[in-house]
Amino acid sequence: MHLAHYLGLLHRAQVNLADAFRQVADAHAEEPDIEHLCQQQAKRCDAHAEQLHPFVARYSEDAPDEPDRLHSQLFTGTRTGGIGLLRDLQDLYLMAAECDITWTVVGQAAYGARDKELLAVVRRCEGETAIQLKWLRTRMKAAAPQALVVAD
Amino acid sequence: MVDRIADPWGERTPYGPGQQWPVRVDRYLADGRSDADVDRWVQSASVLHSNGDALDIGVAEGRIVGVRGRAVDRINRGRVDPKDLYGWQANHSPDRLTRPLVRDGDRLVETDWDTAMGRIVARSKELLDGPGGWGHFGFYTSGQLFLEEYYTLGVIGKAGLGTPHMDGNTRLCTATAAAAMKASFGTDGQPGSYTDVDHCDAIALWGHNVAETQTVLWMRMLDRRRGPNPPAMLAVDPRATPVAREADLHLAVRNGTNVALMNGLLREIIRRGWYDHDYVEAHMLGFDELCRIVDGYPPSRVADICDVPAADVERAAELLGASQRLLSTVLQGFYQSNQATAAACGVNNLHLVRGMIGRPGAGIYQMNGQPTAQNTRETGADGDLPGLRNWDNQRHVEELARLWNVDVDTIPHWAPPTHAMQIFRYAEQGSIKLLWISATNPAVSLPELHRIRQILTRPELFVVVQDLFLTETAELADVVLPAATWGEKTGTFTSVDRTVHISDKAVDPPGEARPDLDIFLDYARRMDFRDRDGQPLIDWSGPEEVFEAWKECSRGRPCDYTGITYEKLRGGSGIQWPCTDEHPDGTERLYTDGHFHTDPDYCETYGHDLATGAEFTEAEYRAKEPKGRAFLHTVDYQPSPEVPDDQHPLLLTTGRTVYQFHTRTKTGRAPQLNQAAPDVWVELNPADAARFGIVEGDLVGVSSARGAIQARARLCGIRPGVVFLPFHYGYFDQDPTDRTPRAANELTITAWDPVSKQPLFKVAAVAVAKLADGRGVPSPAPTVGGSAPPADADVPPTVGGPAAEATSGKE
């Protein structure tokens, strides 16, 4: 059963997203809403990773070897300024999107594995990831015209 | 005779449930004058708080000589707030601005209107030239202008310049009220009526020190409390305010924990079966999700988070749950605190699940802080689309484009309007290059003042300030425009409970000062804004024309003014919107049939996630099929962005005294009011004071991560661990070369609610230290109101003396 690999993928994606949220919070501390909400969402990602952890452990016991190129690198550090903020939020958006689709995939697998506990975790967390995407989109939409058209 | 400084609320006129509130006419005429000395009375209403009290301005020999309450009016039945009794004297202050000023190096010099407006227009045209020119303009207006002025400003911004960067200082006072009503009911607009006080059997005051912020509303509540079958009263406030002292139950919650309290109260109400099952079934969305979240807040957990006894949480739920006609009022203790919109929605939830809405006595006041804040919101001067339209609804935008005859894409609707704190951030970053500030004083009222001053003094930023006096903000401007004020111009404005009043011109403005409306119209003319047919975009010449135009804009919307005329507003009582041909006398309560403004084609928002402010789309909203049902929204409690630590062990909350309004621009110039509360103070609980070796009157340093100020200590009934500073005190009346830091907002944090974008003034972490001994001289804090010292303290009482003698009677 390969579910362990996807659980590992999701777990790492959540850990990476938490870390990226924290880096963006620090880099753009002069945007108080960004700082506060990125810190808040980082904690949410931590909680997701924590909830996944027992399932990663359980399913990895009888898992085959990890396939090649399972993980991908979506974040390589923060930028500065108005357009830099927009790009950083865009990175977070892509990382959250990776989590979002991975929740879907893991949820499908949980059905297949008849694992009600895992399904409950997916149901709890995938909605919160969807809100992260929505928030990032909302914030980027508001920032884009000023950053791309107005600012010098 | 009554000294309304010593007794701001005056004599009681008790009454019972369902009875009409008795008339009591308050009057103050200066210099020993009587009615016989008044040449004429000119109709108006209050602009020094949000209650909308109707009053007449007494004029003799071309000058204002006093005021008296209007017995005929539904709101105050003749009563007048002490700020209104005495505050009008500021109109005559010798330091009124009478000529425009322009910057010449480090000085402001007098000039003529042509020169001043010429500079603004030249800079505007320069900035507007080129792609994205609209984005260089920011407007920061007020909650104290008139409806006609806001609407004109809104049209200039949206259809003339096409900028979303417009907000009012209403962002600081009432943005959460609007956000919470949009979230729960579909649109802005108070459900209730002030007459709900006459009918209710319980009053819950959520972070609302109404005794000091809206004294006449408090008089109404007190008169019920002194009459037969009085309403029960619940107060939620970390301070021992007059409201908290009067209440049957006072929950002095830890600042920033309101959401936990509301969730806990809702849990009890639901678990103990005190909700209206049929009403919820028929008229609510989201009950199951609400139950799921509030279930995590048993009284013991609420007690831990809020630091109040669990038994008191249960008693509060009983008080609320036993009521048959519950009235709630909400203000800054919720709006300016952590998780503001979610907490205010919690109050809506309480009323919705109990069916306590839309009938006499069952009402909600999501209050305003300022007299005309309602109009800032209605007309779009806070950035929203006028007529409580939805910026994300293409058809709403098209309606405005047709009305104004402009291209639909001229009107900014690609994202929500830019809120005040973000406008200042864009100015800080340099993309906003012209900031036009009207009738407000951000250099004292916004958070983290050293930052605000830095922004306003940036050489690249062209700052226009339109005001009555050379405020702390005006000092930093490039152009200062002298404005006429209340009593010197005509216009309308609307109270918390949707009552529209007219305020007529009584006297001429001083010198060359002009009504704000004239200034905006002059700008529009000079900028030569045109509509799609090449005709002038704005062709109005006076307030009544603007009002008629506004009526068309409001047609068919919740705030429908089409049945109101200036003539109808003159002579009698104010009129509550919606007022239409079908409802020519206005509408006392909204949602009387349990049908809410949530239809997708009608609503003002498609909704937000309350924890992040993430917006939902039209498709997502339609999928919920609201069909006129109200939304029950809540979220889990999250701690404030800033909580006390070892370095800053106390929580700071800021607020008002009954004697001052905002940054004292007017009340600081009315002798009776200013003498009652002449300087800043800091309130401490005696236990905290003892810990730091502080006694009454000592000079105390209060510091946060942002700055430090000095204030004399008042030991009083504030909850332990919390200190209070009034935010009124800035620097205009100190020697410019020797100013002592005293503005509360030197300390406050730059942070805001994710949905309403209202700044958090109630949750900064601070340290206190004794700087100097008071030598037995008490602090300048009034002994009336939240700053009242303990009964055994040796502090002389606050009185007004002969200069404050007013009359009050049944007439």
Which phi and psi angles does B309 have, rounded to 5°?
-65, 140
Same domain, B205 and B346: yes
Q: Which residues of A touch B416 (CB under 8 A)?
A: 142
Using DSSP's 3-state secondary structure scheme, residue B266 falls into helix
- Does the complex come out with an ipTM higher than 0.90? yes
Contact A36 B751 (CB under 8 A): yes
Give the one of A37, A145, A149 whose C-beta lies nearest to B754's C-beta: A37
Whether A82 contacts chain B with CB within 8 A = yes
Do B68 and B61 touch, CB atoms closer than 8 A?
no
Give the one of B135, B421, B615 whose C-beta lies nearest to A138's C-beta: B615
- Report the CATH number at residue B238: 3.40.228.10
B187 found inside a domain: yes
d(CA B613, CA A139): 9
Contact B614 A137 (CB under 8 A): yes
pLDDT in tens, A49-82: 999 999 999 998 877 888 888 888 889 999 999 9
Q: What is the pLDDT of residue A64?
A: 82
d(CA B308, CA A91): 43
Q: Which residue positions in chain B have pLDDT lower than 70?
A: 811
Q: Which of B338, B612, B748, B750 to mutate to test the interface with A (most CBs of A within 10 A)?
A: B612
d(CA B92, CA B133): 40
Query: Nearest chain A Cα to B754, which residue?
Result: A33
> Predicted confidence band at A1 (pLDDT cuts at 50, 70, 90)?
confident
Q: Is the pLDDT of residue A32 over 70?
A: yes
* CA B783 centroid distance within chain: 25
Same domain, B262 and B310: yes
Give residue A77's region: left, alpha or beta (phi > 0; psi -120 to 50): left
> Which residue, B296, B306, B347, is CA-closest to B184?
B347
d(CA B195, CA B497): 9
B810 found inside a domain: no
d(CA B541, CA B285): 47
- Written as six digits, the tokens of B539 are 């062709």
Same domain, B473 and B544: yes
B589 found inside a domain: no
Query: Nearest chain B Cα to A137, which residue?
Result: B614
Q: Which residues of B touch A25 (CB under 8 A)?
A: none
Whether A31 contacts chain B with CB within 8 A = yes
User: B712: which strand partners?
Assistant: B681, B699
Question: Pairing relation of β-strands B434-438 and B137-141?
Answer: parallel
CA distances from B468 to B18, B121, B144, B645 (A): 43, 21, 12, 42
Do B75 and B53 touch, CB atoms closer than 8 A?
yes
Same domain, B659 and B541: no
Same domain, B403 and B536: yes
Same domain, B91 and B107: no
Same domain, B564 and B699: no
d(CA B448, CA B138): 20
Contact A32 B614 (CB under 8 A): no
Contact A32 B754 (CB under 8 A): no
Edge-to-edge strand list for the sheet holding B137-141:
B107-110, B101-104, B479-482, B462-467, B434-438, B137-141, B166-168
Neighbouring C-beta atoms of residue B61, cutoff 10 Å: 8
User: B462: which strand partners?
Assistant: B434
Same domain, B210 and B115: no
d(CA B253, CA B238): 5
* Domain of residue B41, residue span: 2-95
- Name the domain count of chain B: 4
Whether A114 contacts chain B with CB within 8 A = no
Fold of the A3-61+80-150 domain: Ferritin (1.20.1260)
B587 found inside a domain: no
Same domain, B356 and B385: no
The DSSP call for residue B669 is G
> Which residue, B72, B67, B55, is CA-closest to B21?
B72
pLDDT in tens, A71-112: 888 899 999 999 999 999 999 999 999 999 999 999 999 999
How many beta-carbon pairs below 8 A join chains A and B? 70
d(CA B211, CA B229): 21
Q: Which residues of A touch B616 (CB under 8 A)?
A: 134
Give the one of B431, B752, B754 whose C-beta lies nearest to A146's C-beta: B431
Give the one of A131, A142, A150 whose C-beta lies nearest to B431's C-beta: A150
d(CA B527, CA A21): 45
Neighbouring C-beta atoms of residue B773, cutoff 10 Å: 12
Same domain, B353 and B423: no
CA distances from B615 to A70, A117, B335, B554 (A): 33, 30, 20, 25
Q: What is the pLDDT of residue A71?
A: 81
Q: Which residues of B touch A144 (CB under 8 A)?
A: 415
B811 found inside a domain: no
Do A55 and A118 touch, CB atoms closer than 8 A?
yes
Give the one of B132, B418, B609 whose C-beta lies nearest to A134's C-beta: B609
Edge-to-edge strand list for the sheet holding B54-60:
B2-3, B805-809, B25-29, B63-69, B54-60, B40-45
Buried b / exposed e across B10-39, counting CB within 10 Å, b at 16+?
Answer: beebebebeeebebbbbbbbbeeeeeeebe
Q: What is the pLDDT of residue B400?
A: 98
Same domain, B799 and B677: yes
Whether A120 contacts chain B with CB within 8 A = no
d(CA B810, CA B79): 10
DSSP 3-state percent helix, strand, coil across chain B (nearest 5): 30, 20, 50
B46 found inside a domain: yes
Q: What is the pLDDT of residue A69?
A: 82
B135 found inside a domain: yes
Do B151 and B549 touch, CB atoms closer than 8 A?
yes
Contact B136 A149 (CB under 8 A): no
Contact B752 A138 (CB under 8 A): no
CA distances from A114 to A111, A119, B217, B293 (A): 5, 9, 61, 27
d(CA A133, CA A140): 11
> Which residue, B706, B794, B51, B759, is CA-closest to B374?
B51
Same domain, B692 and B743: yes
Q: What is the pLDDT of residue B12?
A: 97
d(CA B648, CA B780): 25
End-to-end C-alpha distance for chain B, whole angstroms:
14
B417 found inside a domain: yes
